[in-house]
Amino acid sequence: MEINSNVILQANALSYGYVPDQPVLHDVSLAAEANSILYLLGHNGCGKTTLLEILSGVRKPHTGEVWLTSADQQRANLHRMPAHHRAQRVGLVPQIHAPVFAYNVFEVVLMGRTPYLSFLGVPGQADRAIVDEAIATVGLTALRERAYTDLSGGERQLTLIARGLAQQTDVLLLDEPTAHLDPRNQHLVLETVSRLADERISFIISSHDPNSALLYADQVMLMKGGRVVAAGSPNTVLTEEILSRSYNMPVEVIYNQDQQARAILPRRNGHFQPTRLFEDS
């Protein structure tokens, strides 16, 4: 794929399978630009979470490569980097995070400094200052000493984003960051993400919600059966024809008077009969 100089993370022809001869990703490529939001869309089981795990270094692709580009245009193969160096460049915020102990917000965010510590090292004053700044950035200073287990869903997501900021990464990968959140907390989390993308960091977000992509994405990649169906700007990818084909259901896109897409809805035509809940291709 042809890449411009603003690209910070590039994946080329990734394939992966959990068992032999049953790949869940097929020849997937993407490019995330600096200070941008890239949405990964698709139905359950299409490979979004697996892709995020490969992009973070948690899993290694069977074929293909992931490259990171630094501010001075030096490129490095993500899976050949030492783990602590990789964690300084890319962070992953999982969909479900349940700590074993009742850490408070500060302690959870402080875990983001781990890649910068030596073996058995203890965070210093500079690390703590970075953590306080990250907590303030996402608006949680008043909850600094609150137990993570006592937070709302939106506050937990913001805490994990703050942990990613404390890692001082170039890219944060968010797996379904607004799943199970009410509309207010969805708005709070995504507005925070949008502001941070403008200021300092790039995001790759997996989601089931194409309407969020309409509002917040700079680029969208739509997946089906582990393959890329379409990739590009929201206006070019989030069309009725592409969405209907990808989700195996009739979809309607609502446009405003300026012909800008404003909402994506299932099309009720009285004839739609669901086939399988999860489609493989």
pTM: 0.90
HSE at residue 69, side-chain half, CA atoms within 13 A, is 16
pLDDT at 280: 43
Going from N- to C-terminal start, the domains of the chain cover 1-89+171-176+203-281
- Separation of alpha carbons 180 and 98, rounded Å: 15
Residue count (the chain): 281
- Separation of alpha carbons 185 and 58, rounded Å: 28
Instruction: Write the CATH number of the domain with boundaries 1-89+171-176+203-281.
Output: 3.40.50.300
Residue with tokens 């139905």: 43
34-52: burial string, b at 16+ Cβ within 10 Å, e else: bbbbbbbbbbebbbbbbbb
pLDDT along the chain (281 residues), means of 10: 74 93 93 96 92 96 94 90 93 78 92 89 93 95 94 90 93 92 90 93 95 96 96 95 92 88 83 48 38
pLDDT at 135: 96
pLDDT at 107: 95
- Separation of alpha carbons 214 and 10, rounded Å: 23
**CA-CA distances (angstroms) from residue 133 to 82, 127, 141, 185, 266?**
27, 10, 9, 22, 42
pLDDT at 72: 81
Task: Provide long-range contacts, Cβ within 8 A and 24+ apart, for 186-193.
Answer: 186/154, 186/212, 188/154, 188/158, 189/154, 189/157, 189/158, 189/161, 190/215, 190/216, 192/138, 192/139, 192/158, 192/161, 193/37, 193/161
Of 106, 151, 160, which is closest to residue 133 (Cα–Cα)? Answer: 106
Q: Between β-strands 171-175 and 202-207, what pairing exists: parallel, antiparallel or unpaired?
A: parallel
pLDDT at 279: 45
Token code pair at residue 139: 């608006």
